[in-house]
A = this chain, B = another copy of it.
Amino acid sequence: MESRLLRPYAWALVLLLFIPVSAILEFASPGVPVFAAAGLAIVPLAWFMGIATEEIGKHAGPGVGGLLNATFGNATELIIALFALAEGLQDIVKASLTGSIIGNLLLVLGLSMVAGGLRHKSQSFSREASGIHTTMLLVAVIGLIMPALYVYSAGAAGALRLVVLDEMSIGIAAILFAVYLFGLLFSLRTHRDIFNPVAETPERPRMALRTAVLVLLVSAALVALESELLVGSLQAAQASLGLTDLFLGVIVLAIVGNAAEHGSAVLMAVRNKMDLSLAVAMTSTTQIALFVAPVLVFASLFTAQVMTLDFEVFELVSVALATAVLASVVSDGRSNWYEGVLLVMVYAMLGVVFYLHP
């Protein structure tokens, strides 16, 4: 194992201490402390899941490896969301989806461009890859806007309206999922070269396959455990801290669920690998919108209530505007520190609004 693989382990091992801490706190002092400890414990586990998935991918070869990364890339968010869904916290789940999208587009990419831009005057990346990601995002945004528009234009609630909304949500989820599957075919098979401009030499695995599978399974199990603690203490924490559903889902949960992506995207940017940095952040975003959201709708069919895709107008406008500002930033295939600052500032404005919104 090389030292640069070991370095991140240092902080990760420290944060792993929050696993027992959160379990102990659950009995000693539920509420905010458990919420904080479980949130911190998830960060290193997500990181280990990422590494293990990558290692399994190296053993399996590029095609299957890409598929694995695409499917397990947002496993953390998916697990947290499934636990919250089982608790009936649909509004928070939906808020955490929009939060992940906004956070990846604005905070992760913004910080990456700032960090990279402080070292490099101008950084370039593939306009073709970022253009397709932007269009995919736009398609997802359209899918998320339509049900809310239906609710808005259909007026007062009624039984018929709810049935239609369920059908509409399931139909749109199916279409978004199809967009996702076609996207896999496109990016992993027919147009692999767009997303991998350099003909990379296959990397040697740094873990035995058996170890990697074991790490993946143990991490996933621990993420599930911590997610249960996190979701269980969520409402108590919310009450003590006086946070709104929107702020909690959009800002807090989204940062916890995406912490691993944050780290690696910024690291790539500093190393002037802006293509990889963008790929991490944008792939994660399109996965949330085109894979995680539809899967949650399908999963909700087994709960008491369908998770409909009608988001709050604030969330929708935020996602749409984040997509627009990102499209404007990446359209020229180059980035600099100020474009990063602009993205972060938009995130700050949305944070102010979600914090103050009653």
Contact = CB atoms under 8 A, between A and B. Distances in A.
Interface of A: 121, 127-128, 131-132, 134-136, 138-139, 142-143, 145-147, 149-150, 152-154, 160-161, 164, 167-168, 171-172, 175, 178-179, 182-183, 185-186, 190-191, 312-314, 317, 321, 324-325, 327-329, 331-332, 334, 336-339, 341-342, 345-346, 348-350, 352-353, 356-358
B134 A328 contact: yes
A353 B175 contact: no
Nearest to A134: B328
Summarize A's interface: helix, strand, loop or mixed.
helix
Given A132-B338, A135-B339, A182-B338, A145 B317 contact: yes
Given A142-B349, A172-B349, A314-B153, A341 B135 contact: no
B167 A356 contact: yes
A162 to B, nearest CB: 12
Given A179-B342, A313-B153, A345-B178, A135 B352 contact: no
- Stoichiometry (number of copies): 3
Contacts of A357: 150, 153-154, 164
Nearest to A348: B175
A352 B313 contact: no
The 6 closest A-B pairs by CB, nearest first: A186-B338, A171-B352, A135-B328, A146-B353, A142-B321, A182-B341
A294 to B, nearest CB: 12
Contacts of A312: 153
Given A150-B356, A171-B352, 13 more contacts: A131-B332, A135-B339, A136-B342, A145-B317, A146-B349, A152-B313, A154-B358, A172-B349, A175-B352, A182-B345, A183-B338, A186-B336, A186-B338
Nearest to A333: B332
A183 B164 CA distance: 43
B338 A191 contact: yes
A327 B146 CA distance: 19
A146 B325 contact: no
Nearest to A122: B191
A182 B331 CA distance: 21
A173 to B, nearest CB: 10
10 contacts: A136-B342, A146-B349, A146-B350, A149-B313, A150-B314, A150-B356, A150-B357, A154-B357, A179-B341, A183-B338
